[in-house]
């Protein structure tokens, strides 16, 4: 199975599992379970499961673990998985906006990526929610990269 197909197929494998099952020591990378809201733990829990199954591709594990939050070290595959998670046409919100963003891919990948991270952070701000440091560092990395281009 190709890495892309594996990431696309497996990243949400545990999305519908009971978050109460994700005790903090069965997530990868270790430690995120203590800091992250439970509804986000299906990514790190899936990465941990893949690690247990023998997967040693760190970029793939990172892509799966951080597909909802983002991470500054995501590679191209990880960035596309992050984008696909938000822009999935099957999801039921912001149809017009997300369709417009999908239409700008792949040509404007960095600009679209920055916009998607901004939309997600904006949503958290509106809800007065905490923002994970991985997400803020992801924003900073992509924003700096976009400024240079
Ligand atoms: Fe997910």
82 within 8 A of 70, measured Cβ to Cβ? yes
Q: Which residues are found with C-beta within 5 Å of the ion, ligand 1?
A: 12, 15
**pLDDT of amino acid 14:** 78
> What is the end-to-end Cα distance of the chain in Å, rounded?
34
Q: Please tell me the distance between residue 62's alpha carbon and the centre of ligand 1 in angstroms.
A: 13
Domain limits, the chain = 1-65, 70-149
- Does this model's pTM top 0.75? My answer is yes
pLDDT in tens, 93-146: 999 999 999 999 999 999 999 999 999 999 999 999 999 999 999 999 999 998
CATH number given to 70-149: 1.10.3210.10
Backbone torsion region of residue 54, taken as left when φ is above 0, otherwise alpha when ψ lies between -120 and 50, otherwise beta? left
Coil, helix or strand at residue 104: coil
Backbone angles phi, psi at 91, to 5 degrees: -85, 150
Q: Please tell me the distance between residue 26's alpha carbon and the centre of ligand 1 in angstroms.
A: 17
What gap in Å lies between CA 44 and CA 86, rounded to an integer? 17
Q: Please tell me the distance between residue 149's alpha carbon and the centre of ligand 1 in angstroms.
A: 30
pLDDT in tens, 5-51: 878 878 888 777 776 666 666 788 888 888 888 888 889 999 999 99
Computed on alpha carbons and rounded to an integer, the radius of gyration of the chain in Å comes to 15
């Amino acid at each position: 199975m190709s890495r892309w197909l594996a990431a696309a197929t497996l990243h949400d494998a545990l999305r519908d599992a009971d978050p109460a099952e994700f005790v903090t020591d069965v997530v990868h990378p270790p430690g995120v379970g203590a800091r992250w809201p439970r509804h986000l733990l299906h990514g790190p829990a899936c990465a941990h499961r893949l690690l247990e199954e023998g997967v040693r591709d760190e970029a793939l594990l990172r892509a799966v673990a951080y597909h909802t939050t983002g991470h500054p070290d995501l590679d191209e595959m990880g960035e596309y998985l992050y984008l696909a998670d938000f822009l999935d046409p099957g999801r039921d919100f912001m149809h017009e906006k997300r369709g417009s963003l999908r239409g700008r891919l792949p040509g404007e990948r960095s600009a679209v990526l920055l916009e998607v991270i901004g939309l997600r952070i904006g949503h958290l701000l509106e809800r007065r929610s905490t923002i994970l440091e991985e997400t803020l560092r992801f924003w900073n990395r992509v924003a700096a990269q976009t400024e240079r281009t």
